[in-house]
Amino acid sequence: MDIAIISGRLNLETGGGGSYAINSTARELERRGHDVTVTLLEPPDGRRTELPYRVHDVPGDRTDPASKLVRKYEWMMANQFDYDLYHIYGPRYAPAGGLYRARGGETPVVATFNGYFFCTNYSRMNRTCYKNCTIRKKFNHSSRSGLSNASMVPYYVYNRIGFPRLCNRLDRIVAVSPTVKGMYVENGINGQLVEIIPHFIETSFAGEGTKTADDHLRIIYVGRLERFKGVRFLFGAMERAVFDEKKVRVDIVGDGSEREALERRAESLDHDIVFHGHVDHSAVGDLYANSDVFVHPGTLPEPFGLTVIEAMQHETVPVVSDCGAPPWIVGDAGLTFEWTDESDLADRLEELSDDTVLNAYAARCSEELRRFEPEVISEQHDELYKNLL
């Protein structure tokens, strides 16, 4: 089957979870005998050497969002007889696929929703605001201000009305978690179009290391240091938690606008806090492998959580906020804490300072990860594609 995966960008150096998921999906589809082309709208960036699939850059204006949407629609129309199926990765360009089908395009179109296109300010997003995300709320909650925000009103109208109408013309929508499906259904997407197919584990991603001795507890956070990632709640929990005789080290892997404030706060903590900054993805595995506990304290309802899966691959026990998809991923292999509740997070960390409890959760990681094995997820994709042809 000839498949075109359509996205904005592919950066395997600093591009984050989306780029790694596209790369893994394209590689697995190629391994299963499909002919895959990844088609991109953003400027070329990051390494692309030795990829088993083709990469095609669509020329044209790379700054104007409307222009990129139109160019994607035009490209799909012009190339529809070269591919058996279009798979748009990410909600941003999904309306181009809906427009293409509405205008008579013949090639089936699938879109993966792995983020929240309807949200105008992640730092203000919570567990309930999406249920009534009106145009007024998009305007009031936006990270923009003044004339800059006023100029975006047509976009907010499109986001609220045009986006779901066009996306409902797609053949299928893939939500990477039940959380994503629920939120988009609340925002006008036809739930009958949506299938839940999560990301899969990257089996080649494996670090080397050993877990700490009985008198140590090593905690790790991996991700951006932005407000909606909630790292400040981890620091608040560390101020409250009592670990008895345990020596505790916290590794903070990532960078962002909150780093300076977190570094100042770390100075007052009676624990070893190490800020690593950005670490190449290939080297993060060793940090997971040398850690006992992974904390995901996000305030944003995380659409999925690749770092949660990566931690579990190394039997690093996850502790996640009860917000978004991470609790669904963790299952019985970790603990959840009340969203933004530092005391509850402190209690969970204290619980895992008991080696017997920690080891019991670590032993369950491999069982929970079976749901996300490449063969399992790829079979779901294959079945979806076959049903559309």
**pLDDT tens-digit readout, 269-317:** 989 999 999 998 889 999 999 999 999 999 989 999 999 999 999 999 9
The domain ranges of the chain are 2-200+373-388, 216-371
Q: Determine the pLDDT at residue 315.
A: 96
Q: For residue 104, which phi and psi values (nearest 5 degrees)?
A: 100, 5
Select 216-371's CATH number: 1.10.260.40, 3.90.550.10, 3.90.1150.10, 3.40.50.2000.
3.40.50.2000
Give the H or E element holding residue 338: none
Residue 237 CB partners (closer than 8 Å, separation 6+): 297, 342, 343, 345, 346, 349
**Pairing assessment for the beta strands 109-113 and 216-222 based on DSSP bridges:** unpaired
Which stretches of the chain score pLDDT less than 70? 14-16, 43-49, 60-66, 212-213
Q: Determine the pLDDT at residue 65.
A: 64
Q: Determine the pLDDT at residue 24.
A: 87
The answer to whether the beta carbons of residues 261 and 275 sit under 8 Å apart is: no
Q: What is the pTM of this model?
A: 0.90
Q: How many CB atoms lie within 10 A of CB 7?
A: 23
Residue with tokens 């279009």, as numbered in its chain: 86
* CATH code of the domain occupying 2-200+373-388: 3.40.50.2000
Q: Determine the pLDDT at residue 63.
A: 60
Q: Determine the pLDDT at residue 43.
A: 62
Q: Determine the pLDDT at residue 46.
A: 58
Q: Hey, do 2-200+373-388 and 216-371 end up sharing a CATH topology, with the first three levels equal?
A: yes
Distance between CA atoms of residues 35 and 250, nearest Å? 44
Q: Determine the pLDDT at residue 61.
A: 60
Q: Determine the pLDDT at residue 11.
A: 76
Helix/strand number for the chain, H first, E second: 16, 13
Distance between CA atoms of residues 97 and 338, nearest Å? 38
What sign does the CA torsion over 220, 222, 224, 226 have?
Answer: negative
240-270 CB burial, b ≥16 within 10 A, e <16? ebebeebebbbbbbbbbebbeebeebbeeee
The answer to whether the beta carbons of residues 107 and 83 sit under 8 Å apart is: yes
Distance between CA atoms of residues 358 and 34, nearest Å? 42
Q: Is 228 exposed, middle or buried (0-12, 13-18, 19+ CB in 10 A)?
A: middle
Q: Which amino acid is at 361?
A: Y
